[in-house]
C-alpha cells in the first residue's frame, strides 16, 4: 500500500519532513521514501547556520542532494527553516543594527530562495515565532533587534525574493493549547491586517500522550480560511510507545484534517530508525526501525 498513491487520488500532497540527505545512502530508506511520499522537506539543512554558516558563504551541497533526489523521483520539496528558533550563527546574532539585520535577512533570503526558485514553491518563512508554552513572542535574535516587526519584515522580504511561492508561518503545539492557539490567531490576523504577504499557517502537530480535542483542527481551518489563508500539517508525529493509542491519534487527526479540507500533510520523518535521534527510544512515526509498517501506518492509510 502506498500513501502517495492513495493521497494522490484526492490531490492530497503527502510528505515526509526531517529528511537528512545522509539517509539517502540507505537503499531501504530511499525505497520507502519514494514509494510512500510525494513531498519531502529537509531536517536542518536549510536552517541558517547550516546553509549560511559564515556570512555570505553558502553550503548548498546537502540541500542540492535532496532537490536532485526529489527531481529524480517526481517529488516536491518544501522549504523549511528560513527563520527558525534554533540554528542561528553567531555572526547573525552579533548584528545589533536594525538596518544591518534587515539587509542580512534580505541577502540570505535572496540567495536561498533564488537558488531554489522553481524547485521549492512553498516556504516556512518563520518557524516557532511564539514561546513554546505560549505567553508571547520568542525573544530570539531577530526579535531583540527588530521587535515584533521582524515577522512582517521576513514575509515581505520572502515575497520579494520569491513572488510565486506560498509563504507559511510554522508553529508548534497550538492544537493542544487553547491560549497559544489564540495567540497565533492574533499574530496571524494582525499580519494579514497589515497586508503582510502570508499564505498560510503550517501546524507542526508534534503530539505526545494527549490527542487534540476533536474539532480543533476544523476550527482553525475555518478561522484561517476566513482570512484567506491555507492551513497545512507540517511535521506530524505522535510520541507515545502505546502503538494502539498512537494509531488512533494518527487516524483521527488525518481524518479530521482531510474532512476540514487540508491538502498538504507532512510527517516529521517516517521511520523510527531515524526518529528524534536525540531522544533515544522514541517511536513516533509510521514505520518501525526495520521499515515495517506500524499500526499507525494502517490507520493513516485508512483515513486517506
Q: Which of 31, 86, 160, 241 binds ligand XIL (CB under 6 A)?
A: 86
Residues 140, 237, 199, 260, Cα dihedral to 10°: -140
Task: Please name which of 77, 80, 56, 55 lies closest in space to residue 65, comparing C-alpha atoms.
Answer: 77
CA 116/CA 109 separation, integer angstroms: 11
For the CB of residue 302, give the shortest distance to ligand XIL in the complex, in Å. Answer: 27
Q: Which of 2, 44, 138, 218 binds ligand XIL (CB under 6 A)?
A: 44
Q: How many residues does the chain have?
A: 304
- Long-range Cβ pairs for the range 132-138 (8 Å, 24+): 132/172, 132/173, 133/173, 133/177, 133/180, 134/173, 134/177, 134/179, 134/180, 134/183, 135/179, 135/183, 136/183, 137/187, 138/85
Q: How many CB atoms lie within 10 A of CB 241?
A: 11
Q: Is 84 in the site for ligand XIL (CB under 6 A)?
A: yes
For the CB of residue 129, give the shortest distance to ligand XIL in the complex, in Å. Answer: 11
Q: Is 43 in the site for ligand XIL (CB under 6 A)?
A: yes
Q: Which of 3, 18, 126, 296 binds ligand XIL (CB under 6 A)?
A: 18
Interaction mask 123-162, ligand XIL, x per CB under 6 A = ----x-----------------------------------
Q: Is 99 in the site for ligand XIL (CB under 6 A)?
A: no
Q: Which of 204, 246, 271, 300 binds ligand XIL (CB under 6 A)?
A: 204
Q: Which residues between 250 and 269 bind ligand XIL (CB under 6 A)?
A: none
Its sign, for the CA torsion 259, 260, 265, 271, is negative
Q: Which residues between 219 and 238 bind ligand XIL (CB under 6 A)?
A: 235
Q: Which residues between 108 and 127 bind ligand XIL (CB under 6 A)?
A: 127
CA 83/CA 85 separation, integer angstroms: 7
DSSP 3-state of 219: helix
For the CB of residue 44, give the shortest distance to ligand XIL in the complex, in Å. Answer: 5
The distance of Cα 93 from the centroid of its chain, to the nearest Å, equals 23
For the CB of residue 155, give the shortest distance to ligand XIL in the complex, in Å. Answer: 17
Binding site for ligand XIL (CB under 6 A): 18, 43-44, 84, 86, 127, 170, 172, 204, 235
Amino acid at each position: 500500500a502506498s500513501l502517495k498513491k492513495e493521497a494522490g487520488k484526492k490531490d492530497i500532497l503527502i510528505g515526509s519532513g526531517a529528511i537528512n540527505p545522509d539517509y539517502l545512502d540507505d537503499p531501504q530508506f530511499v525505497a520507502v521514501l519514494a514509494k510512500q511520499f510525494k513531498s519531502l522537506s529537509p531536517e536542518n539543512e536549510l536552517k541558517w547556520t547550516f546553509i549560511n554558516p559564515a556570512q555570505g558563504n553558502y553550503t548548498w551541497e546537502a540541500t542540492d542532494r535532496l532537490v536532485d533526489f526529489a527531481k529524480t523521483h517526481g517529488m516536491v520539496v518544501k522549504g523549511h527553516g528560513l527563520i527558525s528558533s534554533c540554528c542561528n550563527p553567531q555572526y547573525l546574532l552579533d548584528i545589533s543594527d536594525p538596518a544591518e539585520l534587515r539587509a542580512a535577512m534580505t541577502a540570505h533570503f535572496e540567495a536561498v530562495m533564488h537558488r531554489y526558485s522553481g524547485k521549492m514553491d512553498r516556504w516556512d518563512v518563520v518557524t516557532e515565532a511564539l514561546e513554546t508554552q505560549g505567553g508571547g513572542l520568542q525573544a530570539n535574535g531577530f526579535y531583540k533587534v527588530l521587535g515584533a516587526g521582524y515577522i512582517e519584515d521576513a514575509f515581505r522580504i520572502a515575497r520579494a525574493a520569491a513572488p510565486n511561492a506560498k509563504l507559511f508561518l510554522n508553529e508548534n503545539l497550538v492544537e493542544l493549547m487553547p491560549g497559544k492557539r489564540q495567540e497565533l490567531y492574533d499574530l496571524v490576523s494582525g499580519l494579514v491586517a497589515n497586508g503582510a504577504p502570508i499564505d498560510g499557517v503550517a501546524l507542526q502537530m508534534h503530539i505526545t500522550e494527549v490527542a487534540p480535542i476533536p474539532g480543533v483542527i476544523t476550527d482553525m481551518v475555518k478561522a484561517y480560511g476566513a482570512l484567506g489563508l491555507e492551513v497545512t500539517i507540517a511535521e506530524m508525529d505522535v510520541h507515545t510507545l502505546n502503538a494502539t493509542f498512537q494509531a488512533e491519534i494518527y487516524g483521527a487527526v488525518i481524518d479530521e484534517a482531510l474532512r476540514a479540507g487540508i491538502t498538504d500533510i507532512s510527517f516529521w520523518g517516517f521511520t523510527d530508525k531515524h526518529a528524534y535521534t536525540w531522544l533515544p527510544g522514541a517511536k513516533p512515526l509510521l514505520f518501525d526501525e526495520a521499515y515495517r509498517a506500524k499500526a499507525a501506518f494502517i490507520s493513516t492509510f485508512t483515513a486517506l
